[in-house]
């Protein structure tokens, strides 16, 4: 088990690097989630998304969630989370989550938990840019309950 690899970056996500972070010969299950910008949302044609984040706070949220995942699915999980900021075009990756665990079920469940909670808890905002020029910030989740 290694320390979680947790980053907020402005450049493209290096998928092989993310996967390397969870390599472990003691783990038989590796799960990787790659969230990419889709071309349609709510009937609108999307050209790109701009992500804005409070990076130090986002990484703290990632740390908290990684600790919760290890408490629930085992301390031997290896975890990597990388989230983009700035403009991300359709088809490009905005977020990557990788988990390795001794068994596949742990890896699948921990990976799903991490991406689901990141979307709710991390101070990361998304502005969609639409064909024809308009753009808008999407509704998020309150940071304080």
Domains of the chain: 5-137 (3.90.1170.40)
**What pLDDT is attached to residue 132?**
85
pTM, two decimals, is 0.94
CA distances, 118 to each of 57, 60, 108 (Å): 12, 11, 16
Average pLDDT of each block of 10 consecutive residues along the chain (145 residues)?
Answer: 93 98 97 98 94 97 99 98 98 99 98 98 96 85 54
């Amino acid at each position: 088990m290694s320390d979680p690899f947790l980053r907020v970056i402005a450049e493209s996500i290096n998928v092989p690097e993310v996967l390397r972070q969870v390599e472990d010969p003691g783990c038989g299950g590796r799960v990787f989630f790659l969230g990419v910008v889709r071309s349609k949302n709510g009937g609108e044609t999307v050209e790109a998304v701009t992500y804005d984040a409070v990076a130090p706070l986002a990484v703290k949220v990632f740390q908290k969630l990684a600790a919760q995942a290890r408490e629930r699915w085992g301390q031997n999980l290896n975890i990597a989370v990388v989230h983009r900021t700035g403009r991300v075009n359709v088809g490009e990756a905005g977020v990557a989550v990788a988990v390795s665990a001794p068994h596949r079920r742990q890896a699948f469940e921990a990976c799903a938990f991490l991406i689901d909670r990141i979307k709710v808890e991390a101070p990361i905002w998304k502005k969609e840019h639409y064909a024809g020029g308009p753009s808008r910030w999407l509704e998020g989740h309150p940071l304080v309950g």
